[in-house]
Amino acid sequence: MAEPAPEQSSLRAQAPPAASEEIHLPGPTYLPVIVAGGIAVALAGILVTFVAVLLGMVTWVVAVVLWVRAARKEIAELPLEHR
What average pLDDT score do residues 47-57 get? 96
On average, the pLDDT of the chain sits at 84
- 25-39 average pLDDT score: 92
What is the structure's pLDDT at 27? Answer: 83
User: Are 28 and 17 within 8 A, CB to CB?
Assistant: no
- At residue 30, the pLDDT reads 95
Higher pLDDT, residue 14 or 49: 49
Tell me the C-alpha to C-alpha distance, in Å, between residue 17 and each of 9, 20, 21, 44, 56. 17, 9, 12, 52, 49
Residues 7-27 have a mean pLDDT of 69
- Whole-number Å distance between alpha carbons of 66 and 74: 12
Q: How far apart are CA 78 and CA 74, in angstroms?
A: 7
Query: What is the predicted pLDDT for the residue at 11?
Result: 60
Predicted TM-score of the model (pTM)? 0.68
